[in-house]
Structure 1
Amino acid sequence: MTLLRSVARPLLASMFLYGGTSSLKNASVMAPKAQRLADQLQQAAPDFPVPLTAANLIRINGAVHVAAGAALATGRVPRLASLVLAGSLVPTTASGHQFWKESDPAVRKNQQIHFTKNLSIIGGLLMATLDPDPHKKFIGRRAKDKASETIENIRG
């Protein structure tokens, strides 16, 4: 791993490690923000094997953030970890920072800042999904090489 990746990946992952552990510890406090989503999921999948309560959704999201954040920070499957984090941050942002519903200008501004910050982080994570591992060729290049190798074997 290059020096830049050694520094950048843990920095990007740090928010998810912190936020994920916080979600695991404080799921019941954070649950009201996920209640609407939990109700929708419960209606869509009433026979789901785990109760789809708001607190459980917060815990699942927190566990995903810790696991994928740790993978990104350590450089293990960093592109997959970045994609998982970006995907999980979409519902977190949409349900957790609904600034358009706030009437208090200060609260609205704070939620708008967090909403925009999360959009920026999603952008960074999506860029990280394209970051090739320095020890591996980019996936497109590997696919092209494999196709060329297959064609040569057929000819050969």
Structure 2
Amino acid sequence: MKPVRTTARAMLGAIFVVSGVRIVLNPDSKVEAAKRVTDRVGPMLERVDPRLPSDARTLVRLKAGTDLIAGLLLATGRFTRPAAAVLAANLVPTTVAGHPFWTMSGPERAQHEGHFLKNLGLLGGLLLAAADTQGKPGIGYRTSHAVERSQRSMRRAVRTARREAKIARRSAAAARRLPG
């Protein structure tokens, strides 16, 4: 299964790497579409910290850089789960801002609806990659089983301690009965 995972991650990450490079080099091509989201997010960022960038061009470039880095990490098999989660989180505003087919009509609507559905498919793949433990137990499984092992170990220790205390009581009682 490892070759399939490796190939799938490389294929999934490639679209974000290529797109990220293109947009970092030419952010103006996406600024107008991004304004649907950045006009709402910008004021919130300014309230959080006035030093944070809030203009659409800078936010587009930052998002593209994040996609580029996370795409490279996913494609190369490094930090695959966090990289896939970051890409999935970034894909949601991109899809909503870039392909609002519900506001369109005619052939333009069909085109954007297709891109929207393609992005949903990518999102599904990213969610699978973010959840993929590569055949190893996930942290939830390992945690619950570690707790169960600890509880079994404690029960065993308590039984052993009781048994040893019982033996010690018998030994002490027998020692008291011996003529001394």
Supply the distance in 2 between the matched residues of 1:40 and 1:119 (Cα, whole angstroms). 22
Q: Is the 8 A contact 2:43 2:54 kept in 1?
A: no
Q: Is the 8 A contact 2:41 2:54 kept in 1?
A: yes
Supply the distance in 1 between the matched residues of 2:10 and 2:50 (Cα, whole angstroms). 34
Displacement of 1:140? 2.4
Equivalent residue number for residue 84 of structure 1: 86
Supply the distance in 1 between the matched residues of 2:102 and 2:25 (Cα, whole angstroms). 28
Equivalent residue number for residue 100 of structure 1: 102
User: How far does the alpha carbon of each residue in 1:106-146 deviate from its partner, in whole angstroms, 9 at most, with x for none?
Assistant: 22211111001001111111112221134x43222221233
C-alpha RMSD over aligned residues: 1.9
Alpha carbons of structure 1 residues 153 and 60: separation in structure 2 relative to 1, 3 Å: farther
Count of equivalent residues: 154
Supply the distance in 2 between the matched residues of 1:121 and 1:41 (Cα, whole angstroms). 24
Q: Which runs of 5+ in 1 are unaligned?
A: none
What secondary structure, in the 3-state scheme, does the structure 2 residue paired with 1:49 have? coil
Equivalent residue number for residue 124 of structure 2: 123
Displacement of 1:152? 4.9
Percent same amino acid at aligned positions? 36
- Is 1:147 paired with 2:147? yes
Displacement of 1:51? 2.5
Supply the distance in 2 between the matched residues of 1:6 and 1:37 (Cα, whole angstroms). 33
TM normalised by structure 1 equals 0.87
Supply the distance in 2 between the matched residues of 1:117 and 1:129 (Cα, whole angstroms). 18
Supply the distance in 2 between the matched residues of 1:75 and 1:142 (Cα, whole angstroms). 22
What secondary structure, in the 3-state scheme, does the structure 2 residue paired with 1:45 have? helix
Q: Is the 8 A contact 2:20 2:67 kept in 1?
A: yes
User: How far does the alpha carbon of each residue in 1:50-80 deviate from its partner, in whole angstroms, 9 at most, with x for none?
Assistant: 3211111111111111111111111112111
Equivalent residue number for residue 45 of structure 1: 45
TM normalised by structure 2 equals 0.77
Paired residues for 1:103-114 under 5 Å: 103=105, 105-114=106-115
Supply the distance in 1 between the matched residues of 2:45 and 2:3 (Cα, whole angstroms). 45
Alpha carbons of structure 1 residues 130 and 45: separation in structure 2 relative to 1, 3 Å: closer
Equivalent residue number for residue 60 of structure 1: 62
- Is 1:15 paired with 2:18? no
Equivalent residue number for residue 4 of structure 2: 4
User: How far does the alpha carbon of each residue in 1:8-34 deviate from its partner, in whole angstroms, 9 at most, with x for none?
Assistant: 110111111111111111112210111
| Paired residue type of 2:23 | S
Structure richer in helix, relative to its length: 2
Which of the pair has more CA radius of gyration? Answer: 2
Supply the distance in 1 between the matched residues of 2:93 and 2:129 (Cα, whole angstroms). 20
